[in-house]
Amino acid sequence: MSRRQEEQRGGAPLMAEGKSDAEVRLILYHWTHSFSSQKVRLVIAEKALKCEEHDVSLPLSEHNEPWFMRLNSTGEVPVLIHGENIICEATQIIDYLEQTFLDGQIGNTESELKKLAEENPDLQEAYIAKQKRLKSKLLDHDNVKYLKKILDELEKVLDQVETELQRRNEETPEEGRQPWLCGESFTLADVSLAVTLHRLKFLGFARRNWGNGKRPNLETYYERVLKRKTFNKVLGHVNNILISAVLPTAFRVAKKRAPKVLGTTLVVGLLAGMGYFAFMLFRKRLGSMILALRPRPNYF
């Protein structure tokens, strides 16, 4: 049981004595390219919170080391430490941040829908149905195990998002007013969608899913996301993902294990080259998997 769960059972938060929530240091253990970690980091940036970040390299299996397993027995990132509180799992971390730091709330669509349902009993079923639809739309597309299922559903999901964005544009026809997924404010729904689109771009799915006249509202939405300072701070340009994925790991491997005869520089160069080759091979194999999963036309 996490200390966050203990806090919920015991009632009072475990906070440093004499300090407010804002004064207690936030520490986040994450992996830069983890989908869940990216969502948490984007929420922290949107809320303008000061946070000390530590990269836990999954390729180096740092998430399985004893010091990290003592923080989270499941060995999964991200993990947030706030005073005496240790919060694991992205959804719980985001909920904790929203409940603890009220000044910088970015809007939890699910919570808002629940509140509206309570205030309007006659529309309760409609709000609950919409809440369920939002949950089903914003899936975690980071699990390759369910690749076929995700690819089968992806087109339908993005069509629904395109329709929702078009509806928002029609609701606010004034020039210069471009709404986000759930209205004028950038909400947690936008965090999930923005990170998902960026992951699809990184994997080479962008041309397949938007652009060249296909889903123009989604294309415009993603372009607006890229212009947000917080998004650039956390995720940056998609072309920089490979560099930030390979080089830090390469330097850490070189520092830990590099033979002195070869020299750190040579080893880093070799590792970076191997990492790039492995990445290109992965993308090629992923593309082959996608082609294999496509239904073949029946000519007979």
Tokens 């790991």 correspond to 249
Identify each DSSP E strand in the chain by its residue range.
26-30, 51-55, 79-82, 85-88
Q: What is the mean pLDDT of the chain?
A: 73
Domain assignments of the chain as residue spans, ordered by start: 26-100, 109-142, 145-236
CATH superfamily, region 26-100? Glutaredoxin (3.40.30.10)
Q: What is the pLDDT of residues 262-285, one digit of tens each?
A: 444 444 444 444 454 445 555 555
Tokens 């923005």 correspond to 194
Q: What is the pLDDT of residues 41-51, one digit of tens each?
A: 999 999 999 99
Kindly compute the dihedral angle of the four CA atoms of residues 97, 103, 106, 112, in this order, to the nearest 10 degrees. Answer: 90
Distance in angstroms (rounded) separating the CA atoms of residues 287 and 265: 33
Q: Is the pLDDT of residue 33 over 50?
A: yes
User: Rounded to whole angstroms, what are the CA distances from 66 to 159, 270, 292?
Assistant: 45, 29, 40
Percent of the chain clearing pLDDT 70 (strictly above): 55
Distance in angstroms (rounded) separating the CA atoms of residues 53 and 80: 9
pTM here is: 0.66
Residues 6+ apart with CB under 8 A from 230: 42, 45, 46
Q: Is the pLDDT of residue 109 over 90?
A: no
